[in-house]
Amino acid sequence: MDPVAENSSKTIADGGVASDDIPKDGTGVVKLDPWLAPFQDSLKRRYSKAQNWIKTIDETEGGLEKFSRGADVFGLHAKEDNSIVYREWAPNAVKASLIGDFNNWSREAHPLKKNEFGVFEITIPPTASGQAAVPHNSKLKITLELPDGQWIDRLPAWIKYVTQDLSVSPAYDARFWNPPAAEKYVFKHPRPKKPESIRVYEAHVGISSPELRVATYKEFTKNMLPRIRDLGYNVIQLMAIMEHAYYASFGYQINNFFAASSRYGPPEDLKELVDTAHGMGIVVLLDVVHSHASKNVLDGLNEFDGTDHQYFHAGPKGKHELWDSRLFNYGHHEVMRFLLSNLRFWMDEYRFDGFRFDGVTSMLYLHHGIGTGFSGGYHEYFGAGVDEEAVVYLMLANELLHELYPDCITVGEDVSGMPALCLPLSLGGVGFDYRLAMAIPDMWIKILKEVKDEEWEIGNICWTLTNRRHGEKTIAYAESHDQALVGDKTLMMHLCDAELYTNMSVLRPLTAIIDRGMALHKLIRLLTHGLGGEGYLNFEGNEFGHPEWLDFPREGNQNSFWYARRQLNLPEDPLLRYHFLNNFDRSMNKCEEKYGWLHAPQAYISLKHEGDKVIVFERGGLLFVFNLHPTLSFTDYRVGVEVKGTYRIVLNTDSKDHGGFSRVDENTRFFTEPLEWNGRPNCTHVYIPCRTALVSALQSDFENKC
């Protein structure tokens, strides 16, 4: 047996621990998972470090809440009297001046004073006419004198708006964002409550258009938000919002952590996007990158005060060899302030509802996951390879967010499967709400690449979909942006490949390849949705089988936008079969919205038949029946079910609206009989065509939810 499977079957049981029974030393998780007992010392140590941080911050900063308000203190701030206060931490510098359009870039005009903590500060009074001395949207920099007498220019570390003019330089310009009151966006809608079931639409503003260009916040608000709502998603995960100089980095090489990317429009437009989503009842998560930073010097944090160790570890420890980026020193007081304040800023300034933390595996381990496979042995999660400073930072980040914002959602992108990642700090956990089920898309890709349809191993598929730590929530997905990137293939490309360009028209005969591809595209998604976790995620465009991968403009493709777009026009054309897959995605999400299987307990699988290729399970009061066989259909197929009664179909992958053949009469009622079958006290009989899935509900539930 695979060690991960063995661990999974013996780990956290359903149900919680009474608060009176929770040890106050970080070992509460052991009561849920006794297999963690040998690692109590590690659990105690990291919990103690987190508590020491909290104590230190309480004593020196007045608590986490105040400590995380760094964005109110550092950077540039216009006061009510139009004076401007600027503070910057640059301990290695001996002198500093604020320079910009407002003072003709004079180094002598506006010098800053340095305090004993390495923080420079200046207050610039208003002009004689009472206006701010630094005009709104004007360019500026901080210039620093180093101990050797050299002067260097930097963009303020806490700058909130930067712009790029590629015709002049790839480097960004910092701008003072201080619009007049009439131009500031005023939020109109409250944050939605945290959904019981989260159905996540992973999206990138810039690619959200079929046109060969960068789309804008305004366009996303107008065109994408109604589409996302119509498809039944209640959470949007926005990628590539934190400013990144290199578009082709997909937003994962951040140079300005407090700046919303200006390539899509000004900050007020992003606020409108988030607020409009809230008005639709949609939660908006930010894809936050605290795992590393761009190595840019001229417009990033790297060597900000002339040293390589201000925000990052010095030397090789501070460099990620694969990502060619810098690694934060999570054990430093000011770095902790910067990162926690960064989270607080995005929540308060733009009213995001939480975060998907990128690159968590790289943060959790000193080896960053490079050249390391995780077997599932617990020693891998608590040994010398763990970066406890990073673990503690994530503990504090989650504690802060959930304390200040009760409906906040945090998601960790961790491939290692670290235990207690999604348990609260009080139990000794890291505190995330959800983790991403990263093994599931790998499984589907591997199957489609290497295994014939008739040789799919039903038991292994079900095991991978259900192999998760009980009590720690998981977001399942068949494919994300990772599978859409150039060099890989989306599921639909694996399934249909070249015929996507020739045979997706309804005016052409349905070929065997397209028939198979569309059927399996739906089955894979529904099986992942139903079995894979407590949340579901889809990457923009993949819901309808987008025909191309994703590749951003870069030197290697002659700076082409051809693949840096989503052809969202395709499902709108009734003559193309993409709209059938789009319809199914909507039906699947709407069905979950009605019956709530994602927030129901993990499914009970009553049948995994290798010969018939049939899977039967129950979840959320629904009966799921899958026939993955490529050619065999079954009449009067007996399936077990827990609750007796009359069942009727609520979702059918084979319906005409979903591009199927309507081989099943959806008005059929299925009556149970009190015969034990496959471990269930009742059974019924169904007709289940090949490559089809049916979801059925009790007649009474169906009528109540109509």
- Specify the 3-state DSSP secondary structure of 49: helix
Q: Which residues of 468-497 are buried (b: 16+ CB within 10 A; e: fewer)?
A: bbebbbbbbbbbbbbbbbbeebbbbbbbbe
Q: Which of 219, 275, 303, 358 is catalytic?
A: 358
| CB-CB contact of 89 with 158 (8 Å) | no
| CB-CB contact of 646 with 669 (8 Å) | yes
CA-to-CA distance for 478 and 490, rounded, in angstroms?
10
Tokens at residue 14, please? Answer: 């359903």
Tokens at residue 527, please? Answer: 């099986």
Query: At a CB cut-off of 8 Å and minimum separation 6, what does 531 contact?
Result: 462, 465, 466, 476, 603, 605, 617, 619
Residue 617 φ/ψ region, left for φ over 0, alpha for ψ in the -120 to 50 degree band, beta for the rest? beta
Closest CA to 410 of 313, 475, 326: 475
| CB-CB contact of 588 with 594 (8 Å) | no
CA-to-CA distance for 193 and 596, rounded, in angstroms?
16
| CB-CB contact of 140 with 176 (8 Å) | yes
Q: Which of 413, 414, 585, 618 is catalytic?
A: 413
- Specify the 3-state DSSP secondary structure of 258: strand
Q: Measure CA 244 to chain center.
A: 17
- Specify the 3-state DSSP secondary structure of 5: helix
Instruction: Return the ∠ at Cα 353 (arms to 320 and 235), rounded to 5°.
Output: 90
DSSP state of 220: I
573 is a catalytic site residue: no
Residue count of the chain, please give it.
706
| CB-CB contact of 177 with 184 (8 Å) | no
Closest CA to 410 of 397, 419, 420: 397
**Paired strand residues for 284:** 236
Neighbours of 454 (CB within 10 A): 11
- 119-124 and 113-114 beta bridge pairing: antiparallel
CA-to-CA distance for 243 and 265, rounded, in angstroms?
12
CA-to-CA distance for 80 and 123, rounded, in angstroms?
13
CA-to-CA distance for 419 and 474, rounded, in angstroms?
12
Q: Which amino acid is at 252?
A: Y
413 is a catalytic site residue: yes
Name the CA dihedral angle for 383, 384, 387, 389, rounded to a multiple of 10 degrees: 100
Burial of 503: CB neighbours in 10 Å, binned 0-12, 13-18, 19+: middle
C-alpha neighbours within 13 Å on the C-beta side of residue 82 = 14
- Where do we find the tokens 């381990």? 365
Which residue intervals of 75-170 are DSSP H helices? none
CA-to-CA distance for 319 and 313, rounded, in angstroms?
8
| CB-CB contact of 473 with 434 (8 Å) | yes
Q: Which residues of 316-354 are buried (b: 16+ CB within 10 A; e: fewer)?
A: eebbbeebebbbbbbbbebbbbbbbbbbbbbbbebbbbb
CA-to-CA distance for 39 and 247, rounded, in angstroms?
43
Known catalytic residues are 358, 413
